Amino acid sequence: MSVLKNQKYTMTAVCGDITRLEVDAIVNAANKTLLGGGGVDGAIHRAAGPQLLEACRKLNGCETGQAKLTRGYDLPAKYVIHTVGPVYRGRPDDAVLLADCYRNTLTLALEKKFSSIAFPAISCGVYGYPMDAAARIAVTTTADFLKQRDVLIDVIFVLFSPAALDIYEKFLQSPMGVKNYREKLC
Give the model's confidence band at 180: pLDDT under 50 very low, under 70 low, under 90 confident, else very high: very low
- Residue 28 pLDDT > 80: yes
Q: Compute the distance between CA of residue 139 and CA of residue 176 in angstroms, rounded to an integer.
A: 10
- Cβ proximity of 76 and 48 under 8 Å: no
Q: SS3 of 60, please?
A: coil
Domain ranges of the chain: 9-184
Find all residues with CB under 8 Å of 19, minimum gap 6, and list them: 26, 43, 44, 47, 48, 75, 76
User: Average pLDDT over the chain, rounded to whole?
Assistant: 90
Give the model's confidence band at 7: pLDDT under 50 very low, under 70 low, under 90 confident, else very high: low
pLDDT at residue 179, as a whole number:
40
| pTM assigned to the model | 0.91
- The strand pair at 25-30 and 116-119 is best described as parallel
- Alpha carbon separation from 165 to 2, 54, 109, 184 (Å, rounded): 14, 33, 24, 9
Nearest to 22 by CA among 77, 81, 69, 74: 77
Q: How far is CA 75 from the centre of its chain?
A: 16
Q: What is the pLDDT of residues 94-132, one digit of tens each?
A: 999 999 999 999 999 999 999 999 999 999 999 999 999
Query: 9-184 falls under which CATH superfamily?
Result: Leucine Aminopeptidase, subunit E, domain 1 (3.40.220.10)
Q: How far is CA 4 from the centre of its chain?
A: 18
Q: Measured on CA atoms in the order 165, 169, 154, 109, is the torsion positive or negative? A: negative
Average pLDDT of the segment spanning 52-77: 98
Give the model's confidence band at 151: pLDDT under 50 very low, under 70 low, under 90 confident, else very high: confident
- Residue 64 pLDDT > 60: yes
